[in-house]
DNA sequence: CAGTCAGTTCATAATTTTATGAACTAAAAA
DNA sequence: TTTTTAGTTCATAAAATTATGAACTGACTG
């Protein structure tokens, strides 16, 4: 058998508080409570790689809750895992590098709302030109943002490269 | 008594479908189902001003549901109402002009997450420099976006004025 | 003063979401 | 072969959210 150093995770009060804050923040975005706490834990834990049992224990939740939370986060591509030969456990970690994807996803959600606004404009009565114009203005702005945000990403990359 | 033309609102299937789509979209943002449907209704209804009873009837919901939904939307500043002398009813309409405020609010929510990331960085162990660097990168990008988005609003205003 | 109108409030019901623990599985170890 | 490990599944429980209808309020009306 391979030497398994299962050091129990001890969280400081600061870490616990921050896990809850991050949890609430993610909950507001619609993430399930347990999945939100797992994300928080992975942000603050000293070791960025945690096993199933470490998560279960650190958050004091049931195995089923951990199982569901982890599988949700895996499916959402917010976490990933690595394994080591001779050790059956998966070591989960945040896919932080994925924030670009998440950013793009948020833009797409905005764009989705925008296309609803276009649908609204298409079926609205023509009797209310001022009102329709306001909706159009909103839709146009969302178009503009949708077009500019990818540029923002590019510009940031450029600035970052200049600094290095 | 003043002549009260209470023309019952008749919704086409297209309108109903769109109300539901907008409803779901707003629900995903965390808005309560009824409030989300009321918003949808106010987007698609021929008349941008609807009374309490018109909303209740058009959406086939209870008076209490309408009352709660309307009060929530009023409190969130997403709708407002006007009145006419000799008519006790309130005529509700979307505060569409408020989309700027909502946009700013979304930026603030992002900034809130960013400040959580800064807190994470402050308490994270220094033993994981690469991981911390990734989190810092995310936080820096959010800072950048937070700084650039108000400019985006200004630029759009400029472009719009040039067109007029 | 009785009745109507335009809502609000509240207890309750229905629904949905979330979490649990016990039983299960499949692979590896003893 | 039996046991342990690393989870998964599922029925159920607990909690939170949402909607309802009946009773209520307070301003106006006749």
pLDDT value at position A164? 62
Count of structural domains, chain B: 2
d(CA B21, CA B27): 10
* From A9-18, B1-10, B33-42, the region with the lowest mean pLDDT: B1-10
Over residues A56-94, the pLDDT tens digits come to: 999 999 999 999 999 999 999 999 999 999 999 999 999
Sign (positive/negative) of CA torsion B76, B78, A32, A55?
negative
Q: Which two tokens stand for residue A85?
A: 């030969």
d(CA B16, CA B23): 10
Using a CB-CB distance cutoff of 8 angstroms, which residues of chain A are in contact with residue B25?
A: 112-113, 116
Helix axes B99-123, A33-44, angle to 10 degrees: 50
Average pLDDT over residues B136-146: 92
Query: From the CA of B134, how many Å to the nearest CA of chain A?
Result: 7
Average pLDDT over residues A117-146: 95
B-interface mutation test, from A152, A153, A162, A164, most B Cβ less than 10 A away: A152
Q: What is the CATH number of the domain that holds B64?
A: 1.10.10.10
Whether B25 and B76 map to the same domain: the answer is yes
Inside any domain, residue A147: yes
pLDDT value at position B33? 98
**Portion of chain B with pLDDT greater than 70, in percent:** 95
Average pLDDT over residues B9-37: 97
Average pLDDT over residues B11-39: 97
Using a CB-CB distance cutoff of 8 angstroms, which residues of chain B are in contact with residue A113?
A: 25
Among B49, B76, B94, give the residue marking a domain's end.
Answer: B94
Give the residue numbers spanning the domain of B140: 99-158
Is the distance from CB of A14 to CB of A40 less than 8 angstroms?
no
Nearest-Cα residue of chain B relative to residue A145: B152
Whether B74 and B132 map to the same domain: the answer is no
Whether A55 and A107 map to the same domain: the answer is no
Whether B110 and B73 map to the same domain: the answer is no
Confidence of residue A161 (pLDDT cuts 50, 70, 90): confident
Over residues B75-129, the pLDDT tens digits come to: 999 999 999 999 999 999 999 988 888 888 888 998 999 999 999 999 999 999 9
């Amino acid at each position: 058998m391979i030497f398994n150093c299962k050091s129990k995770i001890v969280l400081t009060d600061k870490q616990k508080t921050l896990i809850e804050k991050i949890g609430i923040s993610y909950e507001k975005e619609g993430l399930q409570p347990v999945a939100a706490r797992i994300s928080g834990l992975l942000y603050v834990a000293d070791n960025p790689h945690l096993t199933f049992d470490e998560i279960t224990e650190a958050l004091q939740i049931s195995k089923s809750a951990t199982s569901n939370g982890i599988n949700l986060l895996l499916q959402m591509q917010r976490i990933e895992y690595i394994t080591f030969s001779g050790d059956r456990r998966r070591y989960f970690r945040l896919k932080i590098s994925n924030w670009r994807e998440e950013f793009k996803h948020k833009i797409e959600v905005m764009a989705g709302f925008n296309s609803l606004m276009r649908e609204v404009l298409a079926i609205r009565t023509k009797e209310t030109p001022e009102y329709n114009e306001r909706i159009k203005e909103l839709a146009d702005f969302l178009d503009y943002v949708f077009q500019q945000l990818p540029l923002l990403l590019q510009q940031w990359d450029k600035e970052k490269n200049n600094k290095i």
